[in-house]
Amino acid sequence: MPAEIRKARASDVDDLAAIENAVFAGDRISRRSFRKLIERETAETLIGECDGKVAGYAIVLFRKGSGVARLYSIAVGLEFGGQGIGRLLLEAAEDAAFEHGRMMLRLEVREDNHRAIRIYEQGGYRKIGREPGYYEDGQTALRYEKTLRGDVPIATKVPFYQQTCEFTCGPCCLMMAMANFDRGFVPDPVMEIRLWREATTVFMMSGPGGCEPFGLAVSAHESGLSAEIFVSFYGALFLQSVRSEEKRRVMELAQVDFRRRAEAYGIPVEYRSFAIDDIRAAIAQGKLVLVLISGFLMFGKKVPHWVLAIGDDGDHILIHDPWVEDEKEETILDAANIPVPYGIFMNMAQFGRDGLRAAIILGKR
């Protein structure tokens, strides 16, 4: 019979400890720790039960304020091996993480645990790191991660386009919107660079520059879309870390030009922080929203990054993220139609010490 999955109770501690001692030679969880984990608000201990017996467990940790959950430990009793209980527990752990509003589940696994690694990779996990000497016996740990979707399908009517340069996230989001509202338009790298040239605050001394909201809105208008701007700060953007006076001058002049052109085109601007209801209302009207986020949660770097909000399921904003990390073995399936809980979305959608919020609502003109 397949195992039944339930939450652990204090009465399960002896069975959990017995499985732990039988399965692991080191790095064991103690009876006291099991008891604390069962009671802990930021953890969920799941039990796989067969014919009234505890067959295995999975423990998921939830860090407050984070969009990521961690699979702390998972084990199946030796007499229950080969029955698919481990896979059931892994799926239950993913469900628990998603239900707690997490968009990713991460884990560590011994580099020599080939069977577990195979299960994780078959289940859609991608390797994101390697930690030598992680375990008590000196064995290396491999770190894995999976984007969680719940019941959200990967397929969407909004076309996805992967950026081909590190600095073209905004133009790629803009091209996805263009392809959505004009089915005859096909994004390509030439248009990607053209839109970047049109929308960027270019300054080449320290590498290619990024795009700001007025430049992207102007490019959207000139490409045939309607555009409305939300920005929480009046004046030149992204200058806090710019030390060169000459660079600041050039960037400020470029942004003055964008603001003047936006005004000339009659592009509406609201100088305030957008709310989640602003994003939801735009999507409900059939529009898409280009949103500035901090890249830290998405790929661990505190850099400004643009994503495209394409849907709303009542609990999550669904986004296309044009950045696909090939080095972490990501594919388009990891970056398209990602469900982000409202609270996490709003935490992501700000950048810098001043918490800059910026968004461009895009529609068919």
pLDDT digits (tens, 9 = 90+) for 96-153: 999 998 988 999 999 999 999 999 999 999 998 889 998 988 999 999 999 898 877 7
Neighbouring-strand partners of residue 105: 69, 146
Does residue 272 form part of some domain? yes
Whichever domain contains 183, its CATH number is 3.90.70.10
Q: State yes or no: pLDDT of 299 exceeds 90.
A: no
Statement to judge: residues 259 and 326 lie in one domain: yes
Q: Which one of 79, 112, 147 terminates a domain?
A: 147
In a domain, 131, yes or no: yes
Rg of the chain in Å (alpha carbons):
24
Domain tally, the chain = 2
- What is the share, in percent, of the chain residues with pLDDT greater than 70? 94
Is 305 inside a domain boundary? Answer: yes
pLDDT grade, residue 207 (50/70/90)? low
Distance CA 195, CA 55 (A): 57
Q: What is the largest CA-CA distance in the chain?
A: 74
List for the chain the helix, strand, coil content (%; round to 5).
35, 25, 35
Nearest to 283 by CA among 361, 357, 193, 169: 361
Mean pLDDT, the chain, whole residue set: 90
Residues 6 or more apart from 68 whose CB is under 8 A from it? 102, 103, 104, 105, 106, 297
Q: Note whether 174 and 266 are same-domain residues.
A: yes
Within 13 Å and on the Cβ side, how many CA atoms surround 316? Answer: 21
Confidence band, pLDDT 50/70/90 cuts, at residue 27: confident
Report the chain's terminal Cα–Cα distance, integer Å.
58
Confidence class for position 240, pLDDT limits 50, 70, 90: low
For residues 41 and 72, membership in a common domain is answered with yes
Instruction: Name the E strands within 77-221.
Output: 104-110, 126-131, 141-147
> Does the structure show a pLDDT above 60 at 234?
yes
**Per-residue model confidence (pLDDT) at position 140:** 94
pTM of the predicted protein model: 0.81
Amino acid at 82: G
Q: Which residue has the higher pLDDT, 3 or 297?
A: 3
Q: Judge whether 157 lies within some domain.
A: no
Identify the H or E element spanning 302.
none
DSSP designation for 206: T
Distant-in-sequence, close-in-space partners of 207: CB < 8 Å, separation ≥ 6: 167
